[in-house]
């Protein structure tokens, strides 16, 4: 893959989780989350993006979201369950993207807020346009995702490097 290739980053927030007696890390999806996750997967399938890699938080709600969403995709990408995504800071999430192998073109990260919103906002920099307005208006609800594109290496991912191409929520 050329350094000048366009790459895509999709940031999927986990679907709606239940509030039971479990620890935060082990919270399962609520009924609404189990309905929204496959809808997000179908929307991603229609986008035509073929993911080379999925990075998924180890939390129960993100694993369950990914299991339901990936079932809707035409091809299952290699999936890495990454404990560093859970409770990650913006800097930690960018560092994780910087570690992606250069042969990966399109990646999906399944994670949590405030991290997913902060990362989408930071990568898009001073973005304007409909997708950015929708993202900021909605506050990045559960099962929402952002699609960002950039040209360069994974090691070059930093604030303002990407363009926010799409933002979708289950309520759209």
Q: Is 46 left (phi over 0), alpha (psi -120 to 50) or beta?
A: alpha
Q: CA–CA separation, 67 vs 37, rounded Å?
A: 9
Who's near 55: CB < 8 A, 6+ residues apart? 79, 80, 82, 85, 96, 107, 108, 109, 110
Q: How far is CA 172 from CA 53, 64, 106, 141, 167, in A?
A: 26, 22, 24, 11, 10
Tens of pLDDT, residue by residue over 121-168, are 999 987 677 888 888 888 899 999 999 999 999 999 999 999 999 999
pLDDT at 82 over 70: yes
C-alpha closest to that of 17 among 110, 103, 90, 82: 110
Homologous superfamily of the 6-168 domain (CATH):
Phosphoglycerate mutase-like (3.40.50.1240)
86 pLDDT above the threshold of 70:
yes
pTM of this structure: 0.95
- 72-86, 93-107, 119-133: segment of lowest average pLDDT: 119-133
At residue 3, does pLDDT exceed 70? no
């Amino acid at each position: 893959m050329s350094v000048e290739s366009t790459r895509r980053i999709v940031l999927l927030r986990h679907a709606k989780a239940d509030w039971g007696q479990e620890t935060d890390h082990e919270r399962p999806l609520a009924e609404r989350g189990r309905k929204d996750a496959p809808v997000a997967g179908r929307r991603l399938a229609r986008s035509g993006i073929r993911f080379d890699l999925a990075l998924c938080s180890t939390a129960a709600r993100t694993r369950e979201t990914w299991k339901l969403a990936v079932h809707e995709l035409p091809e299952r990408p290699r999936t890495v369950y990454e404990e560093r995504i859970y409770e990650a800071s913006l800097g930690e999430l960018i560092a994780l993207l910087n570690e992606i192998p250069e042969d990966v073109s399109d990646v999906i990260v399944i994670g949590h807020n405030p991290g997913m919103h902060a990362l989408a906002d930071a990568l898009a920099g001073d973005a304007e346009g409909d997708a950015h307005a929708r993202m900021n208006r909605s506050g990045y609800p559960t099962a929402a995702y952002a699609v960002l594109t950039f040209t360069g290496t994974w090691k070059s991912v930093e604030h303002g490097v990407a363009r926010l191409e799409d933002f979708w929520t289950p309520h759209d």
